[in-house]
Amino acid sequence: MLARAFPFRYHQFMNKRALRSDILLLLTACIWGFAFVAQRSGMEYVGPFSFNGIRFLLGSLSLVPVILLRRKGGKKIDNHFFPYSLAVGTCLFIAATLQQTGLMFTTAGNSGFITGLYVVLTPIFGIFLGRKTGLPTWVGAVLTLAGLYFLSAAGHGDASHPWGTINPGDMITAVGAIFWAFHILLIDRLAPRIDPIVLSAGQFLWCGLYSLIAAFLLEPSIDSIVTLIDPGLLDTGTFSWQSLPLLIAAGKNSVLLSPDALIPILYSGIASVGIAFTLQAVAQKDAPPAHATIILCLEGSFAAIGGVIILSEPLGPWTLLGFILMFGGMLATQWDVIREG
């Protein structure tokens, strides 16, 4: 009715809201992309479990004010909160652990794009839940697999491996992308039954607690993690972080309190988890699905840009081709959404 009575003003208003949503989504993708840089640089001072534990607990706490503002009516927490948040938080812990461990052996740019494989894997796994998928999904899968090859293996061959060898960090991250896809499907199933921001705060809390427990149990021996994948990194001194118990025992002298370690942790926890999630939730209320799909796929691009600018990561022709193919594969997978938008 409003659109018929005031067509020009109505569409102008809607365009402004869509533009605002696109800007917020672009900011979200940028924050998430640069979070890979923060996660990579933070690994020079803090172990993967310690980093994730502190990061996700901060993220959970940062959502508490948002939840309180949204629940002024004094509504009780949903009875499904505990089992739902536990299930999603467990899946998140596995995915985040693999991503953070993979970052020990690969670049921020590679991690950003390879993690984006969940965009392709989610509709494929959805087939087992009775969902239909078409040709664009399979075209996207082929493009992303080709991109993964150029990203990880091309140009890294020798006489015994002429086609190249895949970086172990890239493989770990790719396995993590499988769990990110499971995570998306799980949230898709549970989110309609509970406040999504409350669910997010709960899953971040569980993930943080799991990670801190793992930090106490596994990180006291750096060898237990690094030696299994690439023992040579210990000899080069690439990672010299201490376990969480030692960091706590150090007190005021703890490396955790140094700006070099604290800034990446705060950024990854508050900005990447708390702020970016809230921006996404607000933006997607008014953003056309096609806009959201394309803009959020830029996360890997921002990770690559941040890796080159901040961490001086190399960007050769094979890597660039891999980025382009993977980005094209992500968009191809979402072609139906883009066309309808």
Distance of alpha carbon 280 from alpha carbon 29, whole angstroms = 9
pLDDT the model gives residue 159:
44
When pLDDT is cut at 50, 70 and 90, the band that residue 15 belongs to is low
pLDDT the model gives residue 91:
95
End-to-end CA distance of the chain: 22
Map tokens 């086609």 to a residue. Answer: 163
**Residue 203 in contact with residue 97, Cβ under 8 Å?**
no
**Whether residue 339 has pLDDT greater than 90:** no
Out of 90-94, 221-225, 247-251, the most confident range is 90-94
Sign of the dihedral defined by the CA atoms of residues 183, 189, 190, 194, in that order? positive
- The pTM for the full model equals 0.82
Amino acid, res. 90: T
Least confident of 26-30, 100-104, 127-131, 179-183: 127-131
**Whether residue 337 has pLDDT greater than 70:** no
- Residues 249-282: b if buried by 16+ CB within 10 A, e if exposed: eeeeeebbeeeebbebbbbbbbbbbbbbbbbbeb
Spatial CA neighbour of 35 closest among 271, 239, 204: 271
Name the 3-class secondary structure at 46. Answer: strand
How high is the mean pLDDT of the chain? 79
Let me know the angle formed at the C-alpha of 273 by 270 and 277, rounded to the nearest 5 degrees.
115
